[in-house]
Amino acid sequence: MIPAFNEYGNLPEGNHKANLVEFTQRFINNADRQRFVDLLINLIDYAKSVHASSILFGGSFITSEPLPNDIDCVLLFNRSQQIPTIRPSFTQGAGILDLYFASADNPDIVSSFRKLFSVSKNESNVGTIELDISGNGATFDNLPDPSEELLQLARTMYGYRHSVHVQKRRKVLVLVHGIRTHAEWYSDVSFLGSLNGWTIAPFIYGYQNVDVFLNRNKRREIVDVFRSYLTDVCQLSDTQSVSVIAHSFGTYIAMNYIMGFDDPPTRYDTLILTGGIVDEKLDMQRLYGKVGHILNEIAPNDEWVNWARRANLARDELFGKAGTEGFNQKYDRLVEHNSEIFTHNNVIKRDVIKARWMPTLDANFGSVARDRKELGLN
């Protein structure tokens, strides 16, 4: 049982054992401290997943402080080989977690953290809380006093604390170029996107000639490479949805992928189409739950969009004139802009990227997840 606080709002000296129910009832006890609930759940789940034995808590979180700054804790393992080499990042919750690692086969280090957590800022002795995770592992009890050298090392580590901030889902922006180009526009989008907090993932499938319009196998090969690329991007970024800016033949690639699945592994929060050579008669309802928002730039004077449809000789039903005529079907997640000034290439300029595309991308970040929640999908 966790003892009462003393007159200074600290726990009495000693290492006090608690289970998760006792711990949360005692230390998640007001509206301000509720912000730590998800972070604490993430910590417990992580500790179990890496087979930690117990968790030692110290600092302001286990005092009577109404709104502590962070959670200070040490994960204890039976052996040093069990300590993870990669530090965690949590995607839910709020607050800061100052996380350390120790193992029972290095008892001096364990006792150093125990000693460090047992002394308050005003140098008085205070209590700690140990949360049992495994039920039969190592403990912070019955340890010898640490040497002054190791205690100083623990103080140094505490001074350079390893803070695990809650990481919100990354904003990932995939760029898809057209044929007969070296995608010079990638640089402007990458610069402005990074200033707005986006992780830029440029898809490069090489300089292609116009024969790709007649070569179905070549088109399939490029789309398959794009599929693998999206898989890698999502795994590295720990996300299931990205946003996409696609130009010319890139609009075909991006749309072919998303239409090729009833439930695509990677979804689009926002899909921005420029110089779009995809079918203007596309059934937009098929995109619900796959694409959260579509921005289509219409350039009536874009000669290459009309040429692309003719070049394919109508052999691929996905090709069309959405870039010059817009989509026929109205759709509440579709916004289209029509400009006589635009041609096939001059729409991708900093004024449009900054004033229209970036606000659209930010406003619709996470939109496909909200749609899928409405549909009852994971």
Residue 296: enclosing H or E segment and its boundaries?
A: strand 291-298
The yes-or-no verdict on residue 253 having pLDDT over 90 is yes
**Domain range 14-165, its CATH number among 3.10.20, 3.40.190, 3.30.460, 1.10.150:** 3.30.460
pLDDT at 204: 96
Beta-sheet strand order (sheet of 14-18):
14-18, 127-132, 54-58, 71-77, 96-103, 163-165
Section 270-296 average pLDDT? 96
pLDDT at 109: 83
> β-pairing, 267-274 with 291-298?
parallel
> In this predicted model, what pLDDT tens digit does every residue of 326-365 receive, in sequence order?
999 999 999 999 999 988 888 899 999 999 999 999 999 9
3-state helix, strand, coil in the chain (%, to 5): 40, 20, 40
Alpha-carbon distances, residue 318 vs 67, 152, 258, 277, 279 (angstroms) = 57, 67, 12, 8, 5
Greatest CA separation for the chain: 85
- Write down the CATH superfamily of domain 172-375: Alpha/Beta hydrolase fold, catalytic domain (3.40.50.1820)
> In this predicted model, what pLDDT tens digit does every residue of 94-146 receive, in sequence order?
677 888 888 888 888 888 888 889 888 777 899 999 998 876 677 888 777 77
Q: For the residues of 102-167, what is the DSSP string, one character each?
A: EETTSHHHHHHHHHHHTB-TTS-B-EEEEEESSSSS--SSS-PPPPHHHHHHHHHHHHT--EEEBP
CB count within 10 Å of CB 371 equals 20
| DSSP code for 52 | -
pLDDT at 155: 63
> In this predicted model, what pLDDT tens digit does every residue of 28-51 receive, in sequence order?
988 888 888 888 888 898 899 889
Residue 324 banded pLDDT, cuts 50, 70, 90:
very high
Residue 323 banded pLDDT, cuts 50, 70, 90:
very high
> β-pairing, 127-132 with 241-247?
unpaired
pLDDT at 160: 45
Residue corresponding to tokens 């502590």? 68
What percentage of residues in the chain have a pLDDT greater than 90? 51
Spell out the domain ranges in the chain: 14-165, 172-375
Most confidently modeled of 119-133, 156-170, 203-217? 203-217
pLDDT at 300: 94
Find residue 23's DSSP bridge partners.
Answer: none
pLDDT at 89: 67
